[in-house]
Amino acid sequence: MIIRNGGADRLPSENPSSDDRDDLDYRERLPRVRIVRRIRSLCSLGTVRRRIHVLQWLPKYHVQYLLSDVIAGVTVTLTAIPQSIAYGILANLQPQDGIYSNLVGCFMYFLFGSVKDVTVAPTSIMAIMVQGVVLRLGPGAALLTLLAGAVTFLFGVLNLGFLVRFISMPVITGFTTAACLTIGSAQLRSLFGISSKGKGSDFIDA
């Protein structure tokens, strides 16, 4: 067997020089060293603190802000409860399901969110998308929550948030306008007390 090194042929019986040995060791060990270092960095305490942001700002929290934060939390809660109920109905689910989604979303963002002054809750567009899955799959749509969470977690780990920049403004505007019309038509049936067998956002049966 002939070993090629830098364009020169040599037999295995030949003793390689120190530079050749260093070169071979470098080529053989570098990928393994990179993998080990990567695993160690992912399992380090610094990485955990970077991913779980509450560990960064909570030790620095000032107690004098507690009363103001409690008042802000109560205000947001009083606003979010009816909104979450409406989103639960819009998604063709039970009203309490919207409240559960709000609670879980706020708690998870409290742990992993990068901005401590922001709250996360279900949105109208999210409710519309869930509605279509619920109408097609029924109880099996519960798997949607697990899949959506896994995809969101993967996007966060891989730092793929920059992909949103490639969505043009006309697309966002058109989608938002269509969502407004869909939500408005879905609420008219309950607003005027119209009894209909339609599902989801259907206004009346045609």
The answer to whether 90 touches 183, Cβ cutoff 8 Å, is yes
CA gap 108, 110 in Å, rounded? 5
| CB-count burial class (<10 Å; 0-12, 13-18, 19+) for 85 | middle
- Among residues 108, 90, 115, the alpha carbon closest in space to that of 152 is found at 108
Q: Is 0.85 surpassed by the pTM of this model?
A: no
Q: Which amino acid is at 130?
A: V
Query: DSSP 3-state assignment of 94?
Result: coil
Scanning the structure block, which residue is given the tokens 């045609």?
206
- Among residues 142, 130, 141, 121, the alpha carbon closest in space to that of 89 is found at 130
CA gap 121, 130 in Å, rounded? 14
CA gap 120, 101 in Å, rounded? 10
**Each residue's pLDDT expressed in tens, for the chain with a length of 206 residues:** 444 544 444 444 445 555 555 554 544 455 556 676 766 776 777 777 777 878 888 888 888 999 998 998 899 889 889 888 888 888 888 888 889 888 888 888 888 877 777 778 788 888 888 887 877 777 777 787 788 888 888 887 787 888 888 888 898 888 888 878 877 777 777 777 776 655 555 555 54
Query: DSSP 3-state assignment of 88?
Result: helix
The answer to whether 204 touches 189, Cβ cutoff 8 Å, is yes
- What are the φ and ψ backbone dihedral angles of 9, each rounded to 5 degrees? -95, 140
